[in-house]
A and B are shown apart, each in its own frame.
Chain A
Amino acid sequence: MADDRTNRTPAKKSDRPRRRDIALTAGLGVFIMAVLALSGEMGAGVFLAGALALAALAAVYYLTALTAAEPSVRPALASASLRPVEIEACEAMLERLPIPVLLIGPGGRIERANPSARAFLGLGAERGLLSTALRQPRVLEAVSAALRGERGASVEYATLAPLESHVRAYVEPIRLNVPGPMPFRAMLVLADDTSSKRAERMRADFLANASHELRTPLASLSGFLETLQGPARDDEEARDRFLSIMKEQTERMRRLIDDLLSLSRVEMNEHVAPTGSVELNDLVRDVAEALRPVAERRAITLEAAFSDMSAQVRGDHDQIYEVVENLVENAIKYSPDGAQVQVWVEAARTRDGAEHMPERIDPQSGRLTLSSPPLDPDARFAVVRVRDTGPGIERRYLPRLAERFFRVDGQKSGPAAGTGLGLAIVKHIVSRHRGGFTVESAPGAGSVFSTFFALAPARPAAPADAPGDVEETPDAVTKA
C-alpha cells in the first residue's frame, strides 16, 4: 500500500528573488565605489579591481545557486500562439482520446472533460463539481494542491464495491494566461489499472489454491503407490482396489485443475463486460436436453419451462451456458433419487422481481443475494431459476455458498463430490455480466438458485421517456 500515497514533494521556492537580490547588492557596491572613485577618494585602478572582484563573486554565486537549487517546476504555460487549425486538431485529438482527461478549474469545478472522462465518471453535460463525480479524497487533495500551483502528483485509488476497480490518477497544474488571482487549472488524467492488479492477484491466488487443494489427493496417491511397491506388491485384490481409488483421485485432480483454470479465466475478464447476445429460452432448452440423461440415470425428472416473451440478454453464450449447467447439475447432484428438478425462464422482471420469487418456498426460508449489479431502478432482467427439492441449506451457510472450496457438508471425498468451485465460477461469471445471483433455501424444503441478466435493448420501441440528450454510457465502463 506504500505507493498508495501521493508522491508529491513540496514545491521548491523559486530562487529567482535570491538571484535578483545578489545582482542588486553587487550593483549597489559597484555604484558606491563609482561614486567614491568619482569624488577622488578611490584610485581608478582600485575601483576597477574592486568592481571586477564584485562582479566575479556575483557571477560565481549566481552559477552555484543555479546548479544547487533544483530547477523550479514551471507549470506548463498554455501557449496562446496556436493557430486556429492547430487548436482544432488539439480539440479533435482530445475528443478522440480513449483515456479520461479532465480540466479542473478554481473551486474544483470541472471545466472540460473529454467523452471518455464523461463515460468513465458518468458525468452529465453540465459543468459540475469534481467532488460530486469522483469522491476519492486523495485525488481531491492532489487536485486542490495543483490548483494552488503546487507540483503535480500521481495517486492510486481503488474501489472495492459494488465493482472492483483500481485507477491511477495523474494530476498536473497548468498555468493559464488569464487575468485574475487564480491562473492555475488542474489537469486530471485517469488510467484504469484494474487488469494488471487483478492479473497479479489472480496468479498468486491460483498458485495458492492449486497447491493447497492438490496436496490432499497427491498425498493419497503417493501413499497408495508406496503400499503397492511395498506390502501390497503381490496382493492382487488390493492392487485392483488401490488402482481404482487412484484413478478416482487423479480424476478428481483433473476436475480441480479444470475448474481452477476456468475460474481464473473468468476472474481475469471479470471487469470486461461481454459483448455477445444470448436468448435464454434457447439456452435453457439446450442445457436441459444435455443434462436429462444424467438426471434419468437417477430417476430424477428434469422439468424445463420457458417464457412467452423473448429473453434476449447481453452476454457470452458459453459462459451463461456454464452458469445454467452448473446450477442444474448441482440441483441434480444434491437431490435424492426419484426427485424433481425444475428450471425455468422469466423475462422482463424488475430488480426486485428478479432477485426472488414472489412467494417464499417455505415460511422459514433464508434468502440471500450472492452477487448483484449496481442498482439501476429502470433496468429490466431475464431470470433463470433452478429449483430442487433436496435437503436444503441451513441459513447460516448461505453467505459462504459462493466461496471457493466451501462445501456445506464438509465432505471432501467420493466420486459425486464436487470441487467446491462450481458456485464460485457461477458468481464470477454473473458478476462479469453485471447480472445477479441469489439463493433461497430452507432445510427440508429444497433450494432455489436464481441468476438474472439485463435484457438486451431489443427494439428501440421502449417507452421514450428518457430525455434525448442524455448520453448513453457504454456498459463496459463503470462509474468509479
Chain B
Amino acid sequence: MTNQVKAPHIVKAFSEELEQLSADVAAMGGLAESLVSDALQAAATRDGDLAAEVVARDAQVDAMQRDIEKKIIRLLALRHPIAQDLRVCIAALKIVTDLERVGDLAKSIARRVPTLNDSEPTAFAASVDRMGKLVLSHIHEVLDAYVTGETARAVAVWERDDDVDEHYNALFRELVRAMRDDHAMIGPGAHLLFIAKNLERIGDHATNIAEVIHYLVTGSELASERPRGPRPEQTV
C-alpha cells in the first residue's frame, strides 16, 4: 500500500514502525476529514447536536497529533533515520500540524452553527455547501495521494486550489452585496464569511500537504509559486 517503505530494513521493527506511522497519519487525516464533513453537514442541515459533537471531537485530533509527534521523536532518537526514512518522519511531522489546523478550522465552522440557526435560513447554504464539498474532495485526494505515494495526484490538487479561491471570491462578493442590501443579513452574513474563509484555509492546508507529499516522494520541493486568483479583499 505505502510506497514509502520500499526495501525492508534489516531491523524489521523499524519498517513496521514507519509503516505504522504512515497509517497513523492517514487515520488522523480520516478524522480531520470527517470533522470537516460533519461540520458542513451540521451547517447544511442546521443540526446543532452534530455541531456540538464536532467541537468535542476536535480534542481527539489534538490528542492524535501529540501522540504521533511523540512517536516521531522517539523514532528520530532511536533509529536515526536517513534519506527516505527521514523524509517519512519529517513529512509526517508537517502533515499532522496541517491536519491539526484543519480540525481547528472545522471546529470553528461547527461553533458558528448554533448562531446561524438563530436566524432565518439564507440563500447561501447551497454555495457554502458546494465550496465545502470541493474543499473536502481536495483533502480526500491529498490523503489518498499520501497513502499511495502518487505525487502527480498531489500536484494536481495543488494546481486546483484556484478553484477554491474562485468559489471563495464569488461567495465573498455575493455575501458583501447581500449584507449591503439587507441589514438583517449582516449577522448571519458575517458568520458565513468566516465559514467561507475557514474553508478556503482548509483548502490551503490541503495544498500544504500536497507540497509535503511531493517532498516526501521526490526529495525536492515544489518550486514554482502556486497559481492563485485575485484576492477579493483587494477587488471589492
Contacts and interface: CB of A to CB of B under 8 A. Distances in A.
Interface of A: 1, 107-108, 123-124, 126, 128-138, 140, 157-162, 351-352, 366-369, 374-377, 395-400, 403, 479
A338 to B, nearest CB: 32
Main secondary structure of the interface of B (DSSP, over half): helix
A124 B2 CA distance: 10
B1 A1 contact: no
Given A135-B33, A374-B141, A377-B152, A399 B127 contact: yes
Nearest to A135: B30
Nearest to B44: A160
Contacts of A369: 160, 163
B37 A132 contact: no
Contact of A160 (B22, B24, B37, B166): B37
Contacts of B41: 1, 160
Q: Which 7 A-B pairs have the closest CB atoms?
A: A135-B30, A128-B1, A377-B152, A161-B137, A129-B23, A131-B27, A162-B137
Contact of B134 (A138, A140, A161): A161
A235 B31 CA distance: 70
Nearest to B126: A403
B169 interface: yes
B1 A136 contact: no
Interface string B162-175: 01001101110110
Contacts of A376: 153
Give the interface size class of chain B: 35 or more
Contacts of B136: 160-161
Contact of B1 (A133, A352, A375): A133
Nearest to B147: A132
Interface string B7-39: 000000000000110111011011101100100
Interface of B: 1-2, 19-20, 22-24, 26-27, 29-31, 33-34, 37, 40-41, 45, 47, 49-50, 60, 126-127, 130-131, 133-134, 136-137, 140-141, 143-144, 147, 150, 152-153, 156-157, 159-160, 163, 166-167, 169-171, 173-174
Contacts of A400: 126-127, 170
Nearest to B35: A137
Given A128-B1, A135-B33, A375-B156, 7 more contacts: A124-B1, A129-B19, A132-B1, A137-B34, A158-B37, A161-B133, A161-B136
Contacts of B174: 396
Nearest to A374: B141
Contact of A479 (B1, B126, B144): B144
B232 to A, nearest CB: 9
A368 B163 contact: yes
B142 to A, nearest CB: 10
A2 to B, nearest CB: 9
A132 B146 CA distance: 9
A104 B46 CA distance: 37
B231 to A, nearest CB: 14
Contact of A1 (B50, B147, B173): B50
Nearest to A366: B166
Contacts of B30: 131, 134-137, 140
Nearest to A351: B156
Contacts of A137: 27, 30-31, 34, 60
Contacts of A138: 34
Given A160-B40, A161-B137, A375-B156, A135 B2 contact: no
